[in-house]
Amino acid sequence: YCDTFTYPSRSTENFTHIFTSNHTPGYNFHWGTVQNASTLPISLSDQSITVKVNISNKSHRLKGIGGSFTDSFCINVKSLSEEAGNNLLRSYFSRSGNEYKMARVPIASSDFCTRTYTYDDTPGDVNLEYFKLAPEDYTYKIPVISAAREMSPHNLYLFGSPWTSPNWTKNDNSYTRGYMKEEYFGYWAKYLLRFLEEYRKEGIEFWGFSPFNEPINSLYLKQYLINNMQWLPMAHRVFIRDHLGPLLRASPFNKTKIFTFEDSRKFLKYWIDRVMADPDMAEYIDGVSVHWYEDSETSPEILDEIVKKYNKFIIYTEACILLSMDPTKVVDLGSWKRGGLYAEDIIDVFNHMSIGFIDWNMALNTEGGPVFPTSGTVDAPVIVNASADEFYKNPMFYVLGHFSKFIDEGSYRVDSTSEPLSSVSHLATTNPDGSISTFLYNPTESDITVILHDVINKKIVNISVKAESLNTVVWW
């Protein structure tokens, strides 16, 4: 059995659709309707709040929600029977599923794989004579990406990131640490374009990419065991300005977007102020990619400041539950707490200029892998039990679906305010089909009455927002 998620049809009646998921096991995407009113209640109880939505006050255009085609995700899909594997992909990408609009693809190996590899491990091959995609691309990633695209009713926007360059290009000959030698900057730019070329031959195009993954994090952590390249802002400026930027813009991939940063928000201001100090380099940068880890340590208003100061869009490109974030166990089936962490962060970053949110592994096995090295297991929205030919959807899956189903390419975040201030967080969007969506997350242990007021269309709906629940409210 695999549940589905149906998008509501536009009703000729004056009704609002409400989808609810909460901490109650099995209570996911629960669909109900409520009739609209035209006036506010004469009196509001002390336990109620009013959320006003003003669709005339648009903020920024959105791209959507997605997940990542890691080796580990694709291995887990392929570990299932064809029917079960297709059900898993449909759950994420099809009209009957979450309808993901975006996806991230590691360029060669990441930490969620079974070995370390790049596409050119022949020392000194500066002319890329021995460059070739890996067996993992042909066996896992390309077939699974292609299958997902066929199931999707949307244009799937792909985003690439490399974890490491070939070890012979780095100052300490290591895959897990080290800086790229400047003499190989031109080679690395050609390597990245060659990746785009090889995937284009397979019928797969990329919307954008970053030239690294977490360049600062390995400097911050005392021990960093996964594939990685260390970069400092000044070297990154030289690489983009003198090598990658000009090469990409003169190539057949000149519409492909270049992203900078690709790390945790607490390092963002340090990085971006130094990188963007070079105006010639800044012309080549299209956007800033951010990871959600330790978001609570900094204010999301940093995102607003970056967009205002540098006129580059923000997108979140990695999120997962690390054991340090919820130290119960690596894989915790049915954890609503972990779903709630996603709900809070997605609402927060979309309200502060992010145009999209891409999750990390869409599915892992019952141990939280495979992963290389083996000490880095994590949880995922879907857990695969290959021996039983089954997969299990965690609350994280349903939370992501609440947003991905209703935020489309061309949606806009619009203004929403609450009176009085409340623990209920909210996000409002207008969408290309003319609908308006409001997302309400109640983290408390009590039900809260919300009076949702569309001030432009003069529609009002009274909603009981259940304890520990996420609600998507949709109307036309």
- Catalytically active residues are 214, 318
- 411 backbone dihedrals φ, ψ, rounded to 5°: -70, 155
Closest CA to 98 of 142, 156, 138: 156
Kindly tell me the number of DSSP H helices and DSSP E strands found in the chain. 13, 20
Dihedral sign (CA 410, 273, 110, 136): positive
Q: Which residues contact 25 (CB under 8 A, 6 or more apart)?
A: 334
Q: Which residues contact 249 (CB under 8 A, 6 or more apart)?
A: 284
Q: Which residues partner with 50 through β-bridges? A: 419, 451
Query: What is the distance between the alpha carbons of residues 440 and 463, in angstroms, rounded to a whole number?
Result: 10
DSSP tag of 418: E
CA dist 351 → 60, 249, 287, 304, 356 (Å): 9, 32, 17, 9, 11
Give the long-range contacts of residues 177-185, CB within 8 A, separation 24 or more.
Answer: 177/218, 177/224, 177/228, 177/230, 178/229, 178/230, 179/229, 179/230, 179/231, 179/232, 179/235, 180/229, 180/231, 180/235, 180/239, 182/235, 182/238, 184/126, 185/238, 185/239, 185/242, 185/243
> CB count, 10 Å around CB of 36?
17
Query: What is the distance between the alpha carbons of residues 404 and 415, in angstroms, rounded to a whole number?
Result: 19
Number of residues in the chain = 476
CB 33 within 8 A of CB 16: yes
Side-chain half-sphere exposure of 296, counting CA atoms within 13 A: 4
Can you state the angle between helices 82-93 and 142-151, rounded to 10 degrees? 60
